[in-house]
């Protein structure tokens, strides 16, 4: 975990300032290793997946060498999907916020060329795009790469899986020989190795070593939860889970304060712990946790290093750690002094691979956690309410109130139960005994980052559900050019699939690659989660992970076209009993992987000090 700080890495000062403004405390392992190499102008092969901070690993050093006065493409980043292209472009914009005259342009298929042509004419130093559309522009000569300084291939294995590799090679061949090249990939299939050998030559390789350590006495669970629903999920867990002290890990200094404040506002006693606080303040916070003056501490990795507080019964990884070593360190903050500990990991759908990697390195399978249900939350609140009433009765301070209530009952001919019920109603107004909880999607399916990332510590990220600002979705997207054999696709045995029907078939000239491309781009479902496709004459069927959100289903049903034909996605009646948007059944009740919530930790103790009144 010993890692340099951002200041020592040598990135340009406007970029460093942006990193500081974002509250990044220290470089992630992939950043610490990649940034010096890329600053030196060397080629790089990064074996890393989403969530490790790889975007900043290439964006920060490459931006450091951009000439903002020169309005020609200097950096080109290729991504497999338009969603990733948008995200990477946004990340560049964020990191370049202090660079005057800087422009980044995302370029992807499925949208009108004219806007992109205008953008290219206006000039941008960084272009981020999907291979098909980038190639179109190169062929039209609207995009010239002769002054390109650096080319990045992001998620190269995904580009291979989506059939883009030929386009990628054609683009690589177009770039000047002097151009610096970096390739990032979560896995290293032979084709990618070949591309690296041919186009990146003597590239320096960086990968995050997975160290194996056993974590005993700590029960580890994970919850699939989208970024913007984490706070609601956490609140539910805190209501139902019996805990003593809790340490919650987030990625940024700003997030420690943000999460702690939100918890305080919800009635929990929480404090932030981060590297910005003075040593004295940090020590004070740790002491308050030790003494039980505060129950929850929200910390970054740096601030919680070596923390040893016996009463920490729970560690919650609110943001998944970058690497396995950090995970092992984090959860090691519980289970101290021979006690049992609980570790809970929040995993956004796209972070599935990081979860698998943690499981492999700790050689322990994490149990899937079911989010506490409304009934459980209710049960806990009712229990606390009863405990409180019984305690109040025991205090013996009620004598002067009894005659008051007896008089009220007699004069109005009402029962004591009615009076008690009315008082109960008043007491629980702020914190209802039978709350209506927001439905949370904890389904175990992989989707693109588009839906998972909005609040992943990118403070300036806009809500992507604002579809008005999105490109025209009626057009065909930047589809894979090459059909991919079904055998090549990894199986997803842990994901339950549902068969959908679409009204395009062989008669319309459709090929499986068209369907994969449309669904991957339009629904944000990663290609490896797209299952069997059957082509019939006038329609086709495709297997997709169960639990598709309603808005995506409706989008595919009403808006998306394949081979100029409306897709009209629907569920054959045989699939209707499955968990899917048309059935309107709550998802978490049906999840195949769900287990019964752990009853052994059922709420018993008096947790009133943690709870809002």
Q: How far is CA 361 from the centre of its chain?
A: 21
Least separation in angstroms between residue 45's CB and ligand AMP is 16
Q: What is the SS3 assignment for 3?
A: coil
252 binds ligand AMP (CB under 6 A): yes
- 31: closest CA among 250, 184, 202? 184
357 binds ligand AMP (CB under 6 A): no
Nearer to ligand AMP among residue 25 and residue 496 (C-beta): 25
Nearer to ligand AMP among residue 91 and residue 544 (C-beta): 91
Among 56, 86, 368, 371, binds ligand AMP (CB under 6 A): 56
Provide the token pair at 178: 């002097």
Choose the stretch contacting ligand AMP; rule: CB under 6 A; options: 8-16, 46-54, 158-166, 571-579: 46-54
Least separation in angstroms between residue 533's CB and ligand AMP is 29
Nearer to ligand AMP among residue 53 and residue 517 (C-beta): 53
Least separation in angstroms between residue 592's CB and ligand AMP is 28
Provide the token pair at 565: 């034909």
51 binds ligand AMP (CB under 6 A): yes
The residues, ordered by sequence, that sit 6+ positions from 527 with a Cβ below 8 Å of its Cβ are 158, 161, 162, 484, 489, 516, 520
Least separation in angstroms between residue 68's CB and ligand AMP is 22
Among 269, 373, 383, 457, binds ligand AMP (CB under 6 A): 457
Choose the stretch contacting ligand AMP; rule: CB under 6 A; options: 67-75, 455-463, 473-481, 579-587: 455-463
Nearer to ligand AMP among residue 46 and residue 480 (C-beta): 46
Q: What is the SS3 assignment for 219?
A: strand
What is the spatial distance between Cα 265 and Cα 426, in angstroms, rounded to a whole number? 20
Provide the token pair at 258: 């943000």
Nearer to ligand AMP among residue 27 and residue 245 (C-beta): 27
Nearer to ligand AMP among residue 51 and residue 335 (C-beta): 51
28 binds ligand AMP (CB under 6 A): yes
The percent of the chain in helix, strand and coil, each rounded to the nearest 5, is: 45, 15, 45
Choose the stretch contacting ligand AMP; rule: CB under 6 A; options: 45-53, 131-139, 189-197, 230-238: 45-53
236 binds ligand AMP (CB under 6 A): no
82 binds ligand AMP (CB under 6 A): no
Among 16, 34, 46, 54, binds ligand AMP (CB under 6 A): 54
Report yes or no: 24 and 301 within 8 Å, Cβ to Cβ: no
79 binds ligand AMP (CB under 6 A): no
64 binds ligand AMP (CB under 6 A): no
50 binds ligand AMP (CB under 6 A): yes
Least separation in angstroms between residue 91's CB and ligand AMP is 7
Least separation in angstroms between residue 213's CB and ligand AMP is 23
Least separation in angstroms between residue 250's CB and ligand AMP is 9
Nearer to ligand AMP among residue 51 and residue 603 (C-beta): 51
Choose the stretch contacting ligand AMP; rule: CB under 6 A; options: 49-57, 208-216, 303-311, 524-532: 49-57
Least separation in angstroms between residue 458's CB and ligand AMP is 5
Report yes or no: 581 and 553 within 8 Å, Cβ to Cβ: yes
24 binds ligand AMP (CB under 6 A): yes
Q: How far is CA 289 from the centre of its chain?
A: 29
Report yes or no: 535 and 465 within 8 Å, Cβ to Cβ: no
> Any idea what DSSP says for residue 156?
H
Quick one: residue 215, left, alpha or beta (phi over 0 = left, psi -120 to 50 = alpha)? beta
575 binds ligand AMP (CB under 6 A): no
Nearer to ligand AMP among residue 251 and residue 329 (C-beta): 251
Among 450, 456, 484, 539, binds ligand AMP (CB under 6 A): 456
- For 75-102, give the DSSP string: EEEE-SSHHHHHHHHHHHHHHTTTSTT-
The residues, ordered by sequence, that sit 6+ positions from 211 with a Cβ below 8 Å of its Cβ are 324, 325, 328, 361
Among 33, 34, 43, 55, binds ligand AMP (CB under 6 A): 55
230 binds ligand AMP (CB under 6 A): no
- For 525-591, give the DSSP string: --GGG---EEE-SS-EEEEEES---HHHHHHHHHT-EETTEE---B--GGGTTSSSGGGT--HHHH-
Backbone φ, ψ for residue 44 (5° rounding):
-140, 140
27 binds ligand AMP (CB under 6 A): yes
The dihedral through the CA atoms of 360, 53, 90, 191 has a sign that is negative
Residue 429 CB coordination number (10 Å): 7
Least separation in angstroms between residue 446's CB and ligand AMP is 15
451 binds ligand AMP (CB under 6 A): no
What is the spatial distance between Cα 371 and Cα 536, in angstroms, rounded to a whole number? 40
Choose the stretch contacting ligand AMP; rule: CB under 6 A; options: 48-56, 189-197, 393-401, 463-471: 48-56
Instruction: Count the site residues for ligand AMP by CB under 6 A.
Output: 16
Choose the stretch contacting ligand AMP; rule: CB under 6 A; options: 73-81, 193-201, 450-458, 506-514: 450-458
Choose the stretch contacting ligand AMP; rule: CB under 6 A; options: 172-180, 324-332, 335-343, 454-462: 454-462
Nearer to ligand AMP among residue 53 and residue 131 (C-beta): 53
- 212: closest CA among 321, 327, 306? 327
What is the spatial distance between Cα 255 and Cα 303, in angstroms, rounded to a whole number? 13
Provide the token pair at 209: 């070593």
What is the spatial distance between Cα 594 and Cα 367, in angstroms, rounded to a whole number? 9
Residue with tokens 């806009």: 462
What is the spatial distance between Cα 142 and Cα 124, in angstroms, rounded to a whole number? 12
Least separation in angstroms between residue 23's CB and ligand AMP is 7
Among 458, 476, 481, 489, binds ligand AMP (CB under 6 A): 458
Length of the chain (residues): 613
Least separation in angstroms between residue 115's CB and ligand AMP is 26
53 binds ligand AMP (CB under 6 A): yes
Query: Which residue ranges make up the site for ligand AMP (CB under 6 A)?
Result: 24, 27-28, 31, 50-56, 251-252, 456-458
């Amino acid at each position: 975990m010993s890692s340099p700080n951002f200041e020592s890495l040598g990135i340009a000062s406007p970029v460093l300032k942006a990193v500081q403004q974002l509250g990044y405390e220290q470089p992630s392992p992939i950043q610490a290793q990649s940034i010096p190499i890329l600053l030196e102008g060397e080629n790089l092969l990064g074996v890393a997946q989403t969530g490790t901070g790889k975007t900043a690993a290439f964006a920060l050093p490459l931006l450091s060498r951009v000439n903002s006065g020169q309005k020609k493409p200097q950096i080109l980043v290729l991504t497999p999907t338009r969603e990733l292209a948008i995200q990477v472009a946004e990340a560049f914009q964020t990191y370049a916020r202090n660079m005057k005259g800087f422009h980044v342009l995302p370029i992807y298929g499925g949208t009108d060329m004219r806007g992109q042509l205008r953008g290219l004419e206006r000039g941008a130093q960084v272009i981020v795009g999907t291979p098909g559309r980038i190639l179109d522009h190169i062929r039209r000569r609207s995009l010239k790469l002769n002054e390109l300084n650096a080319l990045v291939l992001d998620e190269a294995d995904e580009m291979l899986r989506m059939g883009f590799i030929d386009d990628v090679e054609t683009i690589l061949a177009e770039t000047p020989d002097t151009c610096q090249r970096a390739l990032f990939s979560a896995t290293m299939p032979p084709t990618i190795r070949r591309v690296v050998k041919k186009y990146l030559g003597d590239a320096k390789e960086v990968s995050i070593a997975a160290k194996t350590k056993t974590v005993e006495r700590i029960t580890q669970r994970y919850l699939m939860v989208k970024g913007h629903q984490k706070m609601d999920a956490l609140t539910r867990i805190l209501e139902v889970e019996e805990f003593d002290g809790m340490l919650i890990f987030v990625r940024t200094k700003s997030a420690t304060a943000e999460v702690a404040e939100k918890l305080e506002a919800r009635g929990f006693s929480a404090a932030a712990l981060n590297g910005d606080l003075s040593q004295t303040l940090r020590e004070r916070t740790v002491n308050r946790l030790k003494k039980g003056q505060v129950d929850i501490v929200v910390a970054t990795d740096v601030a919680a290093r070596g923390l040893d507080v016996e009463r920490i019964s729970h560690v919650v990884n609110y943001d998944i750690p970058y690497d396995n070593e950090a995970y092992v360190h984090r959860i090691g903050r519980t289970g101290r002094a021979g006690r049992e500990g609980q570790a809970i990991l929040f995993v956004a759908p796209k972070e599935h691979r990081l979860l698998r990697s943690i499981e492999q390195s700790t050689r322990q399978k994490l149990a899937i956690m079911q989010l506490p249900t409304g009934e459980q939350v209710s049960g806990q609140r009712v229990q606390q309410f009863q405990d409180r009433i019984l305690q109040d009765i025991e205090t013996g301070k009620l004598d002067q109130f009894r005659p008051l209530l007896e008089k009220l009952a007699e004069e109005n001919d009402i029962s004591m139960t009615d009076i008690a019920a009315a008082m109960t109603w008043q007491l629980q107004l702020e914190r209802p005994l039978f709350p209506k909880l927001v439905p949370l999607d904890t389904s175990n399916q992989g989707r693109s980052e588009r839906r998972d990332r909005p609040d992943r510590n990118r403070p300036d990220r806009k809500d992507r559900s604002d579809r008005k600002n999105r490109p025209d979705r009626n057009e065909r997207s930047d589809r894979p050019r090459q059909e991919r054999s079904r055998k090549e696709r990894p199986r997803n045995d842990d994901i339950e699939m549902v068969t959908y029907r679409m009204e395009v078939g062989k008669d319309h000239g459709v090929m499986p690659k068209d369907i994969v491309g449309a669904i991957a781009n339009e629904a944000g479902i990663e290609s490896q989660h797209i299952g069997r496709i059957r082509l019939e004459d006038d329609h086709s069927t495709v297997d997709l992970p169960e639990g598709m959100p309603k808005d995506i289903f409706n989008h595919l049903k009403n808006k998306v076209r394949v081979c100029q034909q409306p897709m009209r996605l629907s569920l054959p009646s045989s699939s209707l009993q499955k968990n899917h948007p048309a059935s309107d059944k709550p998802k978490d009740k049906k999840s195949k992987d769900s287990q019964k919530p752990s009853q052994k930790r059922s709420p018993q103790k008096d947790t009133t000090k943690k709870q809002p009144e």
